[in-house]
Chain A
Amino acid sequence: MTPVPGPHLTPDDLDAWLTGALASAAQDHLTQCPACRDRAETEREIAALLGALPLMSPTAGFADRVMARGTVPEPFSVGSLLSVRARIFATRRTTALAAGLLVLVVGSMAGSIVWTLGHRETLAAFGGWLVTQAGQAAWLGVRGVASNFIEQPWFAGLKSLAGSPSRLGLASALAMVAYLGGVLAFRRLLALPTQQVARAGV
């Protein structure tokens, strides 16, 4: 009796066999192993039985029943406003609510315009006061930062550096080189790869 080559078929092998994609080594085993052949044939019969199950349909008028219960969204158009109008005038309560909202919005806008026209000087004076206050606050902020800066222990060294033009030039050049180096490094980090990365096989 010749030995059967290779291991018995796995469930994955049986799936592959059902779809006609069984590997040749497994195929060799299948042709010589009665147990696997029997198993594979049974699987095929079951798959065929399942595939031959009768088609079934819901009762007639199914689509109509679904459409009667579902909501088809209306895209915005003049026509779609008709449904909004229908909702507003659906009951007296919705009509009254909509009318109240309209009066509130239009009344507020009209009141605002009338008050503005009658109080131009007040508005101008308030605007001027606001600008003055903002300017004073900004000036106070600048002065605070400057005095804080001057009181730092390293400020004297910085001041002496500014006193000598050659040292100031050297420090500026070094700062510029460091800045440019930083910009170049940052651009390199943010640059997109120019070559495609190979896709991993699945």
Chain B
Amino acid sequence: MADTPEWARLSDQEVVLLARAGRETAYRELIRRYERPIFALLFRMVRDRELAEDLSQETFIKALNAIESYRPEFKFSSWIFKIANNAAIDHLRRRELDTLALDGSPHAETPEAMQATALQIGARQESPLDAVEAKELGGAIEAAIGRLRPEYRSCILLRHVEGRAYEEIAEILDLPLGTVKTYIHRARNELRQTLAHLKE
């Protein structure tokens, strides 16, 4: 089609402009670009697959309905991560989760539901041995992340899983840069202490 843009060549800002002009395919492109990082962040924040999916949907619907209020001088990723993080923090404030969901959602009542909502680990690994090892290690780090305070969790996930710069994290979380650095250092300290047994 002559008027179909090559999405890969367009920046987020350009895709947003097309979305504002009413192009549904532009909305779908934004979802395609961010569904995985947003879902991953929310999943690790709330530790429940179904809930993470609901919050991801809520995030995208909010973003798409408010696309007119997005200011192109800021990064689109910062904007959408901010919406997602706010959704997660709001949820965690409403209902404090204190149980780890590595074995499935705390609300799952049957073994099937637990399996369906369990964290899937080892997706990047190749050999079965590697997968078992990585599952053990990945499970430990996921559990350690789950024990962090929500603010530390947001910071460490955005920094080391999403690879965001400190300045962008400060913008996403509406925190001073120094506070973001402190949270990340503390989170790494806590992870180091929690994972110390794996080094032995």
Interface residues of A (CB under 8 A from B): 11-12, 14-15, 42-43, 45-47, 49-59, 62-63, 65-67, 69-75
Contacts and interface: CB of A to CB of B under 8 A. Distances in A.
Contact of A12 (B27, B137, B181, B188): B181
Contacts of A46: 160, 188, 191-192, 195
B185 A67 contact: no
A66 B160 contact: no
Contact of B65 (A56, A59, A70, A74): A70
A11 B185 contact: yes
Given A50-B160, A72-B24, A73-B22, A66 B57 contact: yes
28 contacts: A11-B185, A42-B192, A43-B188, A49-B137, A49-B195, A50-B141, A50-B145, A51-B160, A52-B138, A53-B40, A54-B121, A54-B122, A54-B123, A54-B124, A57-B35, A57-B36, A58-B35, A58-B39, A63-B35, A65-B57, A67-B27, A67-B31, A70-B27, A70-B61, A70-B65, A72-B22, A73-B22, A75-B21
Given A62-B31, A62-B56, A70-B64, A56 B40 contact: yes
| Interface range on chain B (Cβ under 8 Å from partner) | 35 or more
Name the prevailing secondary structure of the A interface residues: helix
B199 interface: yes
Q: Is the interface of B mostly helix, strand, loop or mixed?
A: helix
A11 B43 CA distance: 28
Contact of B31 (A11, A45, A52, A66): A66
Contact of A63 (B31, B52, B68, B192): B31
Contacts of A47: 160, 188
A151 to B, nearest CB: 60
Nearest to B31: A63
A53 B181 contact: no
A47 B137 CA distance: 13
Given A46-B192, A63-B32, A69-B61, A53 B27 contact: no
B60 interface: yes
Contacts of A56: 36, 39-40, 43, 120, 123
A53 B36 contact: no
Contacts of B19: 72
Contacts of A43: 188, 192
Nearest to A79: B22
Interface in B5-64: 19-22, 24, 27-28, 31-32, 35-36, 39-40, 43-44, 52-53, 56-57, 60-61, 64
B92 interface: no
B65 A53 contact: no
